[in-house]
Amino acid sequence: MTGREAMSTTPEHGVGDYKVVLKRVAHQLLDPVVRGMLALGLQADHLTVLGFALSLGAGVSFAIGKFRIASTIALTAGICDILDGQLARLGGRVTRFGAFLDSTLDRIAEAALFVGIAWYYMAQLVDMTVNPGRVIANVQHNLYPITFAVTALNAVLALVGSFMVSYTRARAEGLGLECKVGWFERPERLVVLIVAGFFGLGPVIPGMLIVLVVFSFATAIQRMAHVWKITRSSGSEV
């Protein structure tokens, strides 16, 4: 699973050495667990699929307003995402299809979380249209209908931003260009999302979504600028 291996061992340019240190520490701590899994006959793809299923469950939990439960499930899914690459390496079963499967399911899993959040806020908005009493009660707590609409929109924009971060790197590398720069990749996005979810319903999630939108698009723009710079400096443009 070459992609998993690359994600786990290659430092991101311009991000700093802290990621390398954190990955090394995490691998050392998890090595005994991974070796135990190997002894049980587990394979990396098993954990990949399990993490994907858990992420779908987290998305459903967000959709029904169980934010703390959703964050707990998403955290477990994230652990599976860490373990699958390590399991592939230690088990000597690094394959291209495994890397492809991992990356593809990661995109869908992350989308499930944002769709779940957007669904919750849109459902609240729809409920207010058929139950005017709820509008009055929410307004008394400074929760206006526009707040729910904007939060749902920001969840969608955060999803678009996350896809753009992944796409800009994939497209650049498809053209044979290295594009490992970026401040706000998937691990950072998931940490922010999970931590905010543990605060439950309230102002933290809407604020978190604004942060995710801003930094995800900033990272995508950073990568676009990086590709523009290296193509111009190398004289590869016709």
| Cα atoms found within 13 Å of the Cα of residue 165, Cβ hemisphere only | 25
- Evaluated on CA atoms 82, 86, 88, 91, the torsion sign reads negative
Domain boundaries, the chain: 2-228
Q: What per-residue confidence (pLDDT) applies to 132? A: 75
> 62 burial class (0-12, 13-18, 19+ CB within 10 angstroms)?
buried
Question: Residue 9: pLDDT band by 50, 70, 90 thresholds?
Answer: very low
Measured CA to CA in angstroms, residue 59 lies from 62, 71, 140, 157 at distances of: 5, 9, 29, 16
Which numeric CATH code is attached to 2-228? 1.20.120.1760
State yes or no: pLDDT of 1 exceeds 50.
no
**The model's pTM:** 0.82
First and final C-alpha spacing in the chain: 36
Q: Say which residue the tokens 């088990």 belong to.
A: 91
Q: Say which residue the tokens 């600028």 belong to.
A: 225
Residues 6+ apart with CB under 8 A from 87: 34, 37, 38, 42, 43, 44, 47
Q: What per-residue confidence (pLDDT) applies to 219? A: 95
- Evaluated on CA atoms 53, 126, 164, 210, the torsion sign reads negative
Q: What per-residue confidence (pLDDT) applies to 222? A: 94
Rounded to whole angstroms, how far apart are CA atoms 233 and 238?
12
Per-residue pLDDT tens digits for 35-70: 777 777 777 788 889 999 999 999 999 999 999 999
